[in-house]
């Protein structure tokens, strides 16, 4: 047995294990809470309908990308 192992008591190991499990639980709680908040914000902040181009856009620079709604929600 090493001198370090002889100095640790079962209560100290239990305390360390308890701290580790509490930290793991807090980390998982934080992760679940952050994801729940992300889902809440995604559903709560639905933007109003925005005017979009329905016909092909005339672009002066052919290399410039043209963005428009693939399927409008309104």
Query: What pLDDT was estimated at residue 49?
Result: 65
pLDDT in tens, 17-38: 899 999 999 999 999 999 999 9
Work out how many domains the chain is built from and give that number: 1
Q: How far is CA 61 from the centre of its chain?
A: 38
Evaluate whether residue 53 is within a structural domain. Answer: no
Could you list the residue range(s) of the whole structural domain that residue 11 is in? 7-44
C-alpha to C-alpha distance for 4 and 12, rounded to whole angstroms: 12
Q: What is the mean pLDDT of residues 48-55?
A: 61
Q: Among candidates 54, 44, 41, 49, which has minimal Cα distance to 73?
A: 49
Residue 25 within a domain: yes
**69 domain residue, yes or no:** no
């Amino acid at each position: 047995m090493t001198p370090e192992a002889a100095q640790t008591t079962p209560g100290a190991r239990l305390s360390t294990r308890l701290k580790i499990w509490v930290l793991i639980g807090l980390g998982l709680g934080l992760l679940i809470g952050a994801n729940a908040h992300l889902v809440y914000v995604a559903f709560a902040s639905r933007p109003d309908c925005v005017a979009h181009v329905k016909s092909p856009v005339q672009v002066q620079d052919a290399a410039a990308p043209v963005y428009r709604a693939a399927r409008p929600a309104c």
